[in-house]
Every structure is written in structure tokens, then in C-alpha cells.
Structure 1
């Protein structure tokens, strides 16, 4: 509800009387010529110099530009321009309605005391025989003076919901001191309702709302009352559309927390687990709010994916050029009943063929898996032909992934005076935690991954070794950037990255090069080629090394164009990385540069121009998407 309160004589009353007098007279806005003559021959005026088929043009004079553009788009008088049989009297009457329409439009922008002047001009040499000029002085912009948010229903009395009530109040988008307009008012109400219905109370609603406008003080007093409805808990999963897979398998894939308080994010997470499992083409999960709130069924509407699928893909990376890939998936392998995904990839520096088999997870989310891969890639100064077999258990969670597996590796190095070929068997443990505000395009939060392995070399002398690898990324807010009218804001941020790796073994141990480390490229040290930074042999050739260190700092700032926030960010960065066979031989390679980030409809696009100080060369890096 929008209510305008005026504490003094209403400014629009004299204007209304004046407009009414103009309407009754029907001629006060006519140009200074014979009205009867102009009305009798509308076609003659058009043919004398205007464009046939256009009765008049509309020229809006207003500042700021956002007001002018808004009026030009939404004024109803624009709809009548193409009626070429309109005379001056009819246009004058349309102008009276246009004044009221313009005031209504300005009210939605937060301008409640505008001054408008409407003129009808003869323009025989213009685009049309007449021009309607609307001059607008919008007056002071109304700002919010106070906000009152109240609650009704169970949420008002539930002590456990105090944090939710506080979140709604603190998250209210249209705060005291900010400019008032209808769009921001509607968005604030809707945003608070989303916060209410996102947890415990999915049937919540707006019970009442009001915006009291003091036009003379240019102030708005806002109030809203929210009705929560009953609190809901997740009940059993009801599956519709699954024919090939048992309901229990769908339940274990979704992992809906039956018995827990309703949380929209938990429902979306379960939906995402089903959608990303590969078993279904479409997934839609809803809470049935027509039944018992203490055990509301979760309804899964599914469309199964084909039993087998082949996908051809082409792509391009600045690291390795054009890429061709072929993927084959089988969702129900004979005998095992596992899912198999096989992939062939070919690009300039890498050719690989691999397959991974995974079982349906158990009730705890753990699943068995097996995988194999053959690969040939350029690593440092050599080409490495390698193979890898894995088998073990993994668990994928909303924020944490875990795995434990047995792994066999072999690597054959090709080139001038290559390192010896090697093979090894190891037991591996992996843990990854992701704590981002947005998994696809994070702006705050952090992620950390840890890999530990221990095993024996199988080539030459059989010797023990251990391998440790850790990587981390963090996003730290660094101020807020807003548009000119302060209605949109986005955080600038500092992105920090770090990697470290160590392979501990006797010097004579023959470690497969695929277990050692190389760095450089789009996601590590920019300004250098992909996996071009490694340990340096006495003859100058680069090989994979036993020690790795990488660090990066990047400042990302939203880009403002013509006073408006855009979907782009500008960046500056410094990357440092080093690889060696001994810690004393670590020599840092530094890359510096600038770049841009674009929040595209299909994911974040990262573009960087980096200068590798050690190689004295610029390098362009392009990457689509964010993964950790």
C-alpha cells in the first residue's frame, strides 16, 4: 500500500483545477494560429514537411538522465503518435492526461513534488507536424526516514526463530536514508518474504504493508507485517517418474534430511545432487505443504536420462589451444549396476583416454569407485606417457568431499636425455572443503584441499615415499562499490591463493613424474606456459620436481560505467611460483598483470594479460567457469 500524506496545502490541487479549466476550454494549449484551420486539414500539415503517418513527436526535457529515459519509455501519450488524423485539440486533451500520467510515473521514482510544463509546438519542417515538449523539474528525491517490520503467527513467539527475525530485519534492502522508489519498495518486501519462506515457514506471506509519503518533507515511512504460517519439517521422499532406478537409490542420491526443519537450501542441495548424478535429465523437488507440517512429504518429479549417451565437445584454452573431446556414459552397467563415464580428450599438448565407474552411494553418502587413465602430455621439456589405476571409496557432501583409495602409477618420459621411467603403488587420502557464498562465482569465503599419500616405488630399488599436497583459496571483502544513486552495491574483494607440495623419498628413489610437481598457466602462475615451471636439470631442461610453492594475490573491483554498475570486474594481480628437487634450489618465477571478470549468463569468464618477468614476455589467459 502506498499512501501519500501532505501536511500542508496540497501542491497538486491548484494544478488539478488549472488542468480542468484547460480541458473545458479545449483551446488554451493550441499554438498561435487558427485552430479550426489546423483541425480541418491535418493531412495538409503532415504533407507540408512532416513524416506521413505521425501526428506528433514527444520531447522530454528532464534531469537526471534516468528520469528522462524512464518517462520516454513509459509515457502513455507515446502510444498515440502514429494516429495521423489527430488535430491540435485532440493532442491538447492527450496532454492533459499526459501530465497526470507523468506525475504518477515520477511518484514511482520517488519524486512527489515535480514541476511540469507541457507545450504544443508546430514543427512543419520536422519529423511530424507537431511536437509535444514536456519539461520536468522533478524536485527533491524522497528518502526513507524509518522502517518498521513486525511479525504475526508462530514466528513471533518461537524463541528458536529469533535469529531468523533478526535476519529479516537486518537484511531489509530499503533502509533509512536511502532513496525511495516503487521498485526498491517492492524489492525490499519481496526480499524479506524470501528470507522468511526460505527456512521453517514456506507458506509465509505479507499480511500488511504501507508506505506513508510526506511529500513536503520528502520523507517515506515504511512498515510491513509478515504472517509466518506453521513451521514445517521434512517428511518422506515421494518419487515420481523413476522407472529404471529403485526409490531407495533415488533417496540415497538425494539425501533429503528427513525430520529436519524445512530449509530451502537443503532442498536445493538435494535437487542439485540428483541433477548432477547423471541419472536424470530433469529434477524438480517441492515440499507438499497441504499435509502435516511436522512431516511434509518432499515430492521429486524426475525425468530419467537415456541409459547410454555420447557427447562430442570442442573447446579452446590459452594453455593448450583447441580441444576435442568425446564422452560416453552408461548409467546401469551389466552385472555391477554402477555408472560408467569414459572420456577421450585431444589437444595440442595432451591426449588422454580415461574411464570412471561409480556405485550408488550408501546411506552415509560413501560410494565405491574405480578408474583408469592413459595419458600423453607435454610436461616441462619432455613428453610423458603415463597410466593410472585407482580403486576406493569417496563421499561427496554439500561442503566437504572425502576419498580414500589405492593407486598405481607408471610414467615413461620421452625426449633428449629424459629422466628414467618409473612406477609406484600408493595409498591415498583426500579431503576438500568449500565454504563459499556462491559455489559457481564466489565473492567471499574460502576453500581448502589436502592430499596425503604413502607408498613404494616399483621401478629399480623398491623404496618408500610420501606425498603431501595442499591448496587454498580465499576471498576477502575490500570495500563496497555502488552506482551513482546508491541503489545497487557490490563488494570489491581480494583473492588470495596458495599451493604447496612435497614428495619425500630417498634421492635414488625413482618417483613417477606424474606424482611430482609442475606449475604455470591459467590457474597457477600467469605469464608462463602451462606446466612450464619445474625443476631445472644441469643441461637446462625442465622436469617435474619434488617441491612446489605457489602464491597469488589479486584485487577485483566492480566496474562502473556511466554511473551504473556493470557485470564486469577489473583486476590486478601478482603470481609467484617455484618448483625444485631440493628446497634450497627453489627459484621464484613472478607474473604480474591486469584482467577483467565478466559474470556471463553461463558462468564467470576470466580474461588476463600477464607479464612473465623471468621470460620477459606477455601472455594472454582466458578461462570459463570457477572450480575448486
Structure 2
């Protein structure tokens, strides 16, 4: 109950309380009681309001049914498919489902559908909807009135005295087209607005800084299927830079450079960015000779002649900054010498912003630092400054365990450790091991990313491998010294030397093309060039990758066998409409026996077939086989593939593909009854004669789930013409990681 106080209460207090203190205490108690009563009244009022708002929640014992289902229907659309309209509003429809079926999300979805119509040229399209709740079901119906598709019949410019209409038309680009007997431009209001903005920018870039490009006048024909767009332009005067005046601290040594800057601007149309260009050019010129704190103030002076202006620049050079010393901090793991080697500013150097930015680039390129700051201390007595460099280091050590699966190796596990700042000087060290159902590998490597402070990187890998192949088992140990340099964003060249010791076992006694010792040592030098412009290394949608390599093994290099090897490869990806991707692949290789070499060990030959080559075959199973039905390999091979890719749902993708490939020699082996060759020249002749013969094909479908480290892939491929003589299968199934190419 609320407590009510009126004047009678206060009169009672005044008559009956002899003490002022007592009256004060009693008054405080009454005020507190009133506050409590008022609070209770407010709570009662709020409760009453809730009761008034939700009478159905207290009027009975049963709650209304919760929404269990919903339906969305789209009607009235004939020009745009329902799936495309749902795609246009996919985000809003998803939020509708996730946020308790809010009507506001349906309103947003209708807006997105109408936007899709506007982008397709249906300028009068309307998208209405009904939202009705029936028990535990919500029914949404989108009602579409498409209207006609509007074609731009003409664009007329008015007032353009200085810039031709053809030039202005070019700023409307090439919006979506409708194709019939002739090419026609559809009307898209947003494209018209963009074109007008570009016209305005172009005028200002030509010096018409007061230009006014008015909103377009749209004149539709009788059935509203065509429109004429009229754009009125008030050009105003063209502003030209008649002179550039330099004042202040003018250094005689900079005179030629300053004159060049003036000449680049004099006589050119004026717009606001010209001021920025002049300021930046002057500051850079002074910075290059050590005046890093130079300041340039520019004033635009209008002359009496309309449209003629002067740029007046006042230069304050400040003092020339020279580095007295460099102080490094924050480097807990990285040696100070490593950081100083990458700084372009040394004690005694003149300080410039250009050298500072280059120092930033080189330090960040090392990949060792999360944050870098460079500041100059206050001037010393001689005017020199101390460069204070503070770094924040990134973690440099990484441990990894990578389980995997290969179509041939089956279950496999890779584990190891990587350190990218060995000894605190930015060198890389790596150790890893791989175990699979077909073998084991352990490798160690040391990498110097900047050999002798150059752009050349050096890698020294050492590995030991034991592996079971279909036709043999090999045990290898190899040491390499490899050098590479990135010449551009896309081009990398590599060269190096490798010494490898190989032991072969489980060979058939009459293995084709193999004789003499089963163990050999090989010394090889080689060179490789790679051009890679793909937009993604795991699942590219566009770009080109070209690879070529040549290596040679000779006795002078410590080799017991003599031959050369050439490989060429091309992968090309084209983005098609509707998010389809076309992938093309061509790979070829040739081994050339040298000297008295009349055979090539089986572990050095080319093999074909498998999840990454011709997918209608199991690993290395394509091509000639011996009496034990084991693949023999060859001195030449080819692989060609065409693949259509499509991501159809989130991270799920599918591919349709055709592979073709061969191994050479092939027919000649049959003609010679698999007899060993007497000379390397005969072996090479047969290889070249058969190089483009006996191609085998694979036609298939694949499914992928895309992960950040590459896709999980399933391929099923059909062999349309299996060779009975080699006991080939009609079908092959592969489960592996990564794309085929």
C-alpha cells in the first residue's frame, strides 16, 4: 500500500514532539517508509502493465504452440529462377531461421530480391510478401511483379563543350548485356550513378574543379521497356597551373631536381591532388639528402586571368640528420648483429625516410618480428641523433604431427620440428619423419634464407628413405646443396647438387631394362625454373603454373651412371561463370642415356598412373609390365588432364575430369620381346619412337572437402579401354589429400 503524507502529519509532529532531534528522526523514518511504499506501487504498476500486455499467458493453463516449421514460397517470377532469388537473399533467410523467424529478416530478404532484379535491368520490379502464423507453422509468400526489362536506348550529354561524348560514354563501362540480333545495354540504376561519379572525377582530373554533373533525366518509352538518359553538365572554367614558385630554404645541390618537379606540374590541369604531389615530391627530395624533417607549406594563388593559378611552396628544411649510433631493444632470441645487418641506416649515415622504410621491409621479411618501431632520439651536441629500434619477436619454434592418407601409401604419419631462428641469426632448421604402410623417411635440413646477405637462399637437406614400390624396394640416402632465388612475385630459379646412394631389392631376375648391379651411387647437378601466378596453391580458381627442370648425372660429379633428365609441366586454371573452374594440365619427361649407359636403374625411371596422374590406374600401374605383371617404368612419360571443378555447398566441391597418359618405350618392348638394350642410343630411339603412342585414358568424378591445408579427396575413374596384355582394370578408386594438380 502506498503511504500518503499531507500537512496534517507535519502539524502533528510540530505539536507533539518536544525535541528537534526526535522530529528529524521521525521525519527520516516516514520518508523511508514512503520510498518503500512508492517502490512497491511501481512494482505493482509494472506487474499490471505486464499483465495487460500478455493476457493470454495468464488467462489459461495452456501456452500457445511454439513455431515448429516454416515454409517460403516465391511466386510471380519468370525471368529470374527461384534458386537465384534465394541465393541473393541467402544471408537474410538464414538469419530468419536462426533468429526465431523474425519478420524483419523477411523484409530484408525482399529488399535483396528486389536488388537482384534491379541489377538485372528490371527497374520497375516490386517484391511484396505476406507473413502469416498458423498454429505452430509460419508461412511466408513472396509475391513478385517483375515488370519489363529496361534497355538503354540512348545516353545524351548536354553542356559538354570540352570533353567529347564518346569519352564520357566510356565511363559507363560494359554493364550486363542481353544478347539477341544485336548487343544491347540493360538499364541498371547503380551503374548509371557510378558512371556519373566517374565523369565528375574525370572532369576534376582535367582541371574542371567546379564542375557540376546533374542527376540524370530518365525518359521511358510507352511500355517502359526502353529509356533515354539525359545528363546535363555545367563544366565551369578549366584551372591550369601557370607556374610553380619555390621559396624558403632552397639548397643549391637540389636545383636540378627541384626544376624537374616544377616542370612536371607547370602547364598541367590543376586539381587538389596536385598539391599533395608537389608537397610529397619536395619532401622526398629533401629527405634523400638527409633533411627528413623538412616541411612544405603550399598556397594556391589565383591569377587575374580566369582559370590560371600559381602553386606557391614555402620550404623549411630543418636540420640535416646524421645517425650517431643504433640502439636495439626487445630482441630476446635474435642477435643484435642480425638486426643491424638488415637496417639500411648505419652509424655515420644520413637519415632518410626512404632508408627507414627499406629497413622496415627487410626486418619484416625475415618473418621473425611481430612489431618494429624506429625512433630518433633528441639531437646531441653535434646535431647527430641516435636511432632507437625496438622489436617484438614472434615464436620461432614449431612442432607438428600430421596424420594423412594416400591412395598408395594408405595410412601415414608425419611428425617433426621446425626452428626459423637458429643461433639467433635467422637461419632455419628442420627435422621430420614420415611413416606409412609403404616405407619410412627421416630428413634433416638447414636453410640460410639470405646467403651472404643476398637474395639467394641456400638449403642443405639430408634424408634417409626406405620405400616399397610395386616393382622394387629402394633404400636411399642423399645429401643436397640447393640454391634458389625469387626474381619476381611469380618467378623462382633454383640450382644445386645432390649425391645419392641407392640400394635396390625385391627385383625380378629378368626385370626389363635393368641389368648389372642393383646398387649404385649418383651425383647430379640440376636447374629448375618455376612461374606461378595461381591465386591459391591448394584450390586455385585462376592462374598459371609453369615448371621446367634439367639435371645431369656424370662420373665427374661422383656418379656411377650417366644420363640427363628433362621435365616440363603446365597447369592452367580459368574461372568460368557460375563459380565453375576449368583446370588444364600437361606434364612430360624424358631421360637421355649418356656415354656408354645402356640401361637406366628402375628407381630412376618415370612411372605413370595413380591419384595424381592418370586416375583410372592404381599407383605406377600404367604402361608396360614384366612377366610378373609388375610395372617396368620407362624413359619417357606424358600426362594430360582436363578438369571441371565446382564448389557446390560451403566447403564441399566436386570435379569431372578426363586424364590421358603413357609411358615410353611401350610398343618397342613388345616387338623386342623385352630384350635388354645393347646401347643407350637404341634405348633412346625406341623411347622417342613410342613417346606419343599407347595413351591410356581415365574418365571420372571426384569429391572434395576443402580444408585450410588442402582438400580431402575421393576420386572414382573409369578406364574405357583397358589393355588385356597388361591385366588392366576397368575402374580405380582413390582416397587422398590434396588436388590431383
Normalised by the length of structure 2, the TM-score is: 0.52
Among 570, 577, 584, the alignment partner of 1:481 is 577
Aligned residue in 1 for 2:698: 592
Aligned residue in 1 for 2:608: 519
Partner of 1:529, secondary structure, is coil
- Displacement of 1:332 in angstroms is 3.6
8 Å CA contact 2:412–2:435 kept in 1: the answer is: yes
Among 550, 554, 558, the alignment partner of 2:638 is 550
Aligned residue in 2 for 1:348: 437
Aligned residue in 2 for 1:106: 114
Aligned residue in 1 for 2:339: 247
Q: Which protein is richer in helix relative to its size?
A: 2
- Displacement of 1:424 in angstroms is 1.9
| 2:449 is the counterpart of 1:360 | yes
Take 1:595 and 1:393, find their aligned partners in 2: how far apart are those partners? 40
Partner of 1:331, secondary structure, is strand
- Displacement of 1:346 in angstroms is 0.8
8 Å CA contact 1:58–1:134 kept in 2: the answer is: no
Aligned residue in 1 for 2:476: 386
- Displacement of 1:380 in angstroms is 3.5
Take 1:119 and 1:523, find their aligned partners in 2: how far apart are those partners? 53
Partner of 2:185, secondary structure, is coil
Structure 2 alignment gaps of length 5 or more: 1-51, 157-166, 178-183, 203-211, 234-270, 289-325, 345-352, 374-388, 666-676, 678-682
| Structure 2 CA distance for partners of 1:340 and 1:115, relative to 1, 3 Å | closer
| Structure 2 CA distance for partners of 1:532 and 1:328, relative to 1, 3 Å | farther
- Displacement of 1:355 in angstroms is 1.3
Take 2:426 and 2:504, find their aligned partners in 1: how far apart are those partners? 38
- Displacement of 1:314 in angstroms is 0.5
- Displacement of 1:385 in angstroms is 0.5
| Structure 2 CA distance for partners of 1:572 and 1:82, relative to 1, 3 Å | closer
Among 62, 71, 76, the alignment partner of 1:63 is 76
- Displacement of 1:597 in angstroms is 6.3
Among 407, 410, 429, the alignment partner of 2:501 is 410
- Displacement of 1:352 in angstroms is 0.6
Q: Which protein is richer in strand relative to its size?
A: 1
| 2:543 is the counterpart of 1:451 | no
| Structure 2 CA distance for partners of 1:354 and 1:47, relative to 1, 3 Å | same
8 Å CA contact 1:457–1:464 kept in 2: the answer is: no
Aligned residue in 2 for 1:500: 589
8 Å CA contact 1:352–1:375 kept in 2: the answer is: yes
Take 1:314 and 1:83, find their aligned partners in 2: how far apart are those partners? 43
Take 1:103 and 1:416, find their aligned partners in 2: how far apart are those partners? 71
| Structure 2 CA distance for partners of 1:51 and 1:529, relative to 1, 3 Å | same
Among 575, 578, 584, the alignment partner of 2:660 is 575
Take 1:542 and 1:101, find their aligned partners in 2: how far apart are those partners? 60
- What's the CA shift string for 1:227-250, capped at 9, x where partnerless? 9886799999x9998664433666
Aligned residue in 2 for 1:154: none
8 Å CA contact 1:426–1:456 kept in 2: the answer is: no
| Structure 2 CA distance for partners of 1:101 and 1:227, relative to 1, 3 Å | farther
Take 1:120 and 1:337, find their aligned partners in 2: how far apart are those partners? 64
8 Å CA contact 1:532–1:542 kept in 2: the answer is: yes
Aligned residue in 2 for 1:17: none
CA RMSD of aligned residues (A): 5.9
| 2:716 is the counterpart of 1:619 | no
Partner of 2:554, secondary structure, is strand
Take 1:497 and 1:549, find their aligned partners in 2: how far apart are those partners? 11
Take 1:342 and 1:101, find their aligned partners in 2: how far apart are those partners? 54
| 2:411 is the counterpart of 1:322 | yes
- Displacement of 1:426 in angstroms is 2.4
- What's the CA shift string for 1:102-143, capped at 9, x where partnerless? 68973674255356788898x8xx327998977442423556
Take 2:138 and 2:144, find their aligned partners in 1: how far apart are those partners? 19
| Structure 2 CA distance for partners of 1:523 and 1:304, relative to 1, 3 Å | farther
Residues 261-300 of structure 1 aligned to structure 2 (within 5 Å): 279-280=367-368
Greater Cα shift, 467-476 or 434-443: 434-443
Take 2:101 and 2:598, find their aligned partners in 1: how far apart are those partners? 89
- Displacement of 1:604 in angstroms is 5.4
- Displacement of 1:376 in angstroms is 0.8
Structure number with greater CO (CA < 8 Å, separation at least 6) is 1
| Structure 2 CA distance for partners of 1:309 and 1:535, relative to 1, 3 Å | same
How many residue pairs end up in the alignment? 492
Residues 92-241 of structure 1 aligned to structure 2 (within 5 Å): 106=114, 109-110=117-118, 112-114=123-125, 126-127=134-135, 135-141=143-149, 177=185, 180=188, 216-217=224-225
8 Å CA contact 1:241–1:304 kept in 2: the answer is: yes
8 Å CA contact 2:711–2:738 kept in 1: the answer is: yes
- Displacement of 1:181 in angstroms is 7.7
8 Å CA contact 1:63–1:137 kept in 2: the answer is: yes
- Displacement of 1:452 in angstroms is 2.1
Take 1:72 and 1:476, find their aligned partners in 2: how far apart are those partners? 28
- Displacement of 1:616 in angstroms is 1.7
- What's the CA shift string for 1:140-169, capped at 9, x where partnerless? 355677899xxxxxxxxxxxxxxxx99x96
| Structure 2 CA distance for partners of 1:331 and 1:346, relative to 1, 3 Å | same
8 Å CA contact 1:314–1:324 kept in 2: the answer is: yes
Residues 19-34 of structure 1 aligned to structure 2 (within 5 Å): none
- Displacement of 1:327 in angstroms is 1.7
8 Å CA contact 1:106–1:138 kept in 2: the answer is: no
8 Å CA contact 2:110–2:128 kept in 1: the answer is: no
- Displacement of 1:516 in angstroms is 3.2
- Displacement of 1:389 in angstroms is 0.9
Take 1:170 and 1:445, find their aligned partners in 2: how far apart are those partners? 31
| Structure 2 CA distance for partners of 1:219 and 1:374, relative to 1, 3 Å | farther
8 Å CA contact 1:430–1:451 kept in 2: the answer is: yes
8 Å CA contact 2:541–2:581 kept in 1: the answer is: no
